[in-house]
Amino acid sequence: MSNSQTKRHGDVQKERSMALQKELVGGHFDALGRAKEEGRKVVYTFVPGNLTELMRSFDLLPVLPEINALQSGMRKLSAGYISEAEKHGHSEDVCTYVKCDIGMLKKGNIGPTGKPIPAPDLLLLSYTGCFTFMKWFELLKQEYEGCPVAMLHVPYQADGQVHSHYRDYIVEQLRSEVIPKLEQVSGQAYDEDKLRSNLTLSAQAEDDLVWVLESAKNVPSPIDAYFGGVYYIGPIFGAFRGTQEGVDYYRTLRSEIEERLANKQGPITPDGELDEERYRLVIEGPPNWTSFREFWKMFYEEGAVVVASSYTKVGGLYDRGFRHDATRPLETLADYCLGCYTNLSLPARVDLLEDYVRDYSADGFMINSVKSCNSFSAGQLLMLRQLEERTGVPGGFIESDLVDPRYFSAANIKNRIESYLQMLEQKRGAAA
Amino acid sequence: MTPDLAQLVERVTHLYEDLHFQSVHDWKSEEPGRHAIGYMPIYVPRELVHAAGMLPVGILGGGDRLEIIRGDAYFQSYICHIPRSTIELALTQRLEALDGMLFPSICDVIRNLSGMWQMLFPERYVRYIDLPQNFDPAVGGTFWRQELDTLREDLGRIGGREIADLELRQSVVKYNENRRVLRQLYEARSERPWFFPTSEVYLVLRAGTVLPVEEHTKIVRRYLELAPLQDDRRDQDMSRVVLVGMFCEQPPLGLLITLERAGCWIVDDDLLLGLRWMSGDIPEDGDPLQNLAIAYLEQSAQTASVYQPEGRRGAWLVDSVQRNVAEGVIFCAPSFCDPALLEQPMLVAALEREGIPHTQFKYSENTGQFAVIREQAGTFSDSIRLWSEA
Ligand code: SF4
Ligand code: SF4
């Protein structure tokens, strides 16, 4: 039933925000490339629970190995890196982000933009929502002997609540473990005012990001909140939370989406603008990166738009009201870490997705279950059933991987997506 | 085998094979109002459960004795086996003796299983045991103490009475005693492994996951007395190996037997590590909850799910090899086990720095074919014997 739902406006549409993002990311990798000669210090850390405002308050440059890995996936470099890591004894069974990163390191640590990534001066192990993070940085610690590690253990929201002693524990670790190590590495004293002003900038950008994500409640949606969403979250989940550039990016993005909304335009896809929204979907789970465009195309070709996704919440659940709060700087960082999506209990994840299906008037939901990630994937089959029961909407289930192309079976996935959408169509027909 | 040892082995084998936890039902029915609390690997503070007058029960999957009918529908093929057999046990009413379940923070599968339990069995008590990864008593210690406080309150509520300090101190004494005999057992096996085959030691240990601790201590003591009396057990020309990676999903018994038949004396391992978690005694006087909290920070076993601030991963393994005069290490991890498999390259590096031979393979709790493993372990065993004789 494949029929193209997109129309091209001249060439592929390029928005200002896209150019701005490219500039930001390119500039950041350039800065990393020059870091050693300029004497700037580099901190490796993870997206969930990242403490960008704090690192930036010490003028440290963040490196996010997960983002390097996904970019290597998009640039088709990951397969080689993974096999390099496997040659060095890393199991085929474990998270491919880790192997992609280690393989990249073994092959000279040339980043996704072709520039070398400097060795870390500190490994800031924000242990939030994923067990693998701990092993990942322990493995890197072996590669970078002498590099200090700062561990920040973030308790899991197992019963769906943030208990005050969780927050106290995190704040204490920030005071006794993280900040002293950041001071040591940077040679600068902790400056709370600087942190506060970064946090103020974060909250501004977060407001605009939430507006953008929630614009998908409109019918038709002006955005795709998954395939497009992963671009929108790039700066805020990466190195630019708490920076003026971050604020400017989200302001620009928001004004573009406002315009699209006013014009009743659909989302932009790699093949141009989607002109007919036929299905509104919620998606749980990360995307596949090695065939990202092909994967996206399987949806937009059918007129399927993702209106909400959980993956775009791994670096913070801003749409549920959380904002970085400059009046309580360390506590707010603690709350931020505690609230990242993969740190939520399974029942809380189901609640969230259920709300998304309703609030975003979705026709259906799909789970993209990735082999790499137990944090996301263990339990997703039960989530599927629970969501079906609670929403009365049938769910779709596909399996792939993040950056290991061996686990992206295009024909199979396309088939599943098409049958799923057909089923939604029939359901619609029956209801009419 | 002498009849008294045969009887002991028969008893522990029966406990191992009983997937309906009849012994737990029996224990509960001895007195009205008794409760049992299940726990997953690796470590939970069983002392607290015991002090509440309850029986802590290790839930270790279904092994190779359980047909998985419904459990597979809950997990993708690339997730290890233990959660699916555990769900199967629960869905087939085999865990009815349990009044609650504890899920320690050892990996994201067990973490998420705690959430699945909440959704599948909303009427049952479920608690995720978030073990601290910060080992500063003022920081991680304070957090862990608060978590223990909550568990203490919860168990008190379930049991209908508060847990008194005195009771907790008494429980600490009992578990110290149990860990001491288990240490003795491990030392005895390391000294004369032919008297203490691991396939048997494992069953003796395993009984400790379902029996009251006092009774288990007696069994281990008795086993320590009886095993060396077996005249038919003699030293043989076998290699001494340390076995690593089996701390969560259990190996089928056939796998342990296969390794022994392939010529390996297992002189140390991380099987049922939670029973032996503390390297020494927990102080028996003073504030018992604080003692439990600090013991976790200072005396925990080193294993994949515990962060090591100094980054000396694998030092314990090298130490174990040296202490137990082992000739090599066998990495034997469950398929898809993140903790074991992510840890492995670091352990391998530590061994290679010391020139310690190693081999590796994976298993699943329901692996039924051991020919390949037997061959590989046999070749490894021969090669390290040659190596150490050279
Ligand atoms: S296991 Fe999942 S959350 Fe963890 S690093 Fe891999 S992809 Fe990320
Ligand atoms: S076998 Fe490994 S991955 Fe599976 S539940 Fe146990 S520790 Fe987790």
For A246-252, what is the mean pLDDT?
A: 97
Ligand closest to the CA atom of residue B106 = 2
Helix (H) or strand (E) holding A200: helix A192-214
Chain B residues with CB under 8 Å of A98 CB are 342
CA of B164 to the centre of ligand 2 (A): 34
Answer whether residue B216 is part of any domain: no
* Residue range B206-240, pLDDT digits in tens: 999 999 999 999 999 999 999 999 999 999 999 99
Answer whether residue A298 is part of any domain: no
Answer whether residue A159 is part of any domain: yes
Integer angstrom CA distances of residue A375 from A48, A282, A287, B98: 12, 19, 14, 27
Alpha carbons B74 and B94: distance in angstroms, whole number: 18
* Residue range A106-128, pLDDT digits in tens: 999 998 778 889 999 999 999 99
CA of A363 to the centre of ligand 1 (A): 29
Categorize the per-residue pLDDT at A2 as very low, low, confident or very high, splitting at 50, 70 and 90: very low
Categorize the per-residue pLDDT at A8 as very low, low, confident or very high, splitting at 50, 70 and 90: low
Categorize the per-residue pLDDT at B387 as very low, low, confident or very high, splitting at 50, 70 and 90: confident
Q: What pLDDT is stored for residue A276 in this prediction?
A: 95
Q: Which atom of ligand 1 is nearest to the CA of A286?
A: 7
Rounded to two decimals, what is the model's pTM? 0.97
Answer whether residue B44 is part of any domain: yes
Interchain proximity A98–B342, CB inside 8 Å: yes
Q: What is the domain count for chain A? A: 1
Answer whether residue A315 is part of any domain: no
* Residue range B291-335, pLDDT digits in tens: 999 999 999 999 999 999 876 799 999 999 999 999 999 999 999
CA of A135 to the centre of ligand 2 (A): 14
Alpha carbons A140 and A143: distance in angstroms, whole number: 5
Answer whether residue B384 is part of any domain: no
Query: Any residues with CB less than 8 A from the CB of A160 and at least 6 apart, and which?
Result: A344, A345, A347, A348
Answer whether residue A176 is part of any domain: yes
Answer whether residue A290 is part of any domain: no
Between A196-200, A242-246, B118-122, B382-386, the lowest mean confidence (pLDDT) is in B382-386
Decide if pLDDT at A328 tops 90.
Answer: yes
Interchain proximity A158–B76, CB inside 8 Å: no
Alpha carbons B370 and B221: distance in angstroms, whole number: 32
Categorize the per-residue pLDDT at A430 as very low, low, confident or very high, splitting at 50, 70 and 90: confident
| Domain limits for position B138 | 26-164
Q: Are residues B213 and B178 in contact, defined by beta-carbon separation less than 8 angstroms? A: yes
User: Hey, what are A319's tokens?
Assistant: 């749409």
User: Directed axis angle between helix A16-38 and helix A229-237, to 10°?
Assistant: 30
Chain A residues with CB under 8 Å of B128 CB are 156, 158-159
Interface predicted TM-score (ipTM): 0.96
* Residue range B265-290, pLDDT digits in tens: 999 999 999 999 999 999 999 999 99
Q: Which residue of B has its CA nearest to A155?
A: B130
Chain A residues with CB under 8 Å of B134 CB are 151, 153, 169, 173, 177
Q: What pLDDT is stored for residue A10 in this prediction?
A: 39
Q: How far is A191 from chain B (nearest CA, A)?
A: 22
Q: What is the domain count for chain B? A: 1
Q: In this structure, what CATH number is given to the domain that contains residue A102?
A: 3.40.50.11890
Chain A residues with CB under 8 Å of B107 CB are 131, 374
For B26-55, what is the mean pLDDT?
A: 98
| Mean pLDDT of all residues belonging to chain B | 97
Q: In this structure, what CATH number is given to the domain that contains residue B150?
A: 3.40.50.11890
DSSP string, B62-124: -TTS---SSGGGGS-TTS-SHHHHHHHHHHTTTTTT-SEEEEESS-HHHHHHHHHHHHH-TTS
Interchain proximity B74–A165, CB inside 8 Å: no
How large a percentage of chain B has pLDDT more than 90? 97
Answer whether residue A118 is part of any domain: yes
Answer whether residue B116 is part of any domain: yes
Q: Write b or e for each residue in A380-403: b if 16 or more Cβ atoms lie within 10 A of its Cβ, otherwise e.
A: bbbbbebbeeebebebbbbbbbbb
Answer whether residue A23 is part of any domain: yes
Q: What pLDDT is stored for residue A432 in this prediction?
A: 72
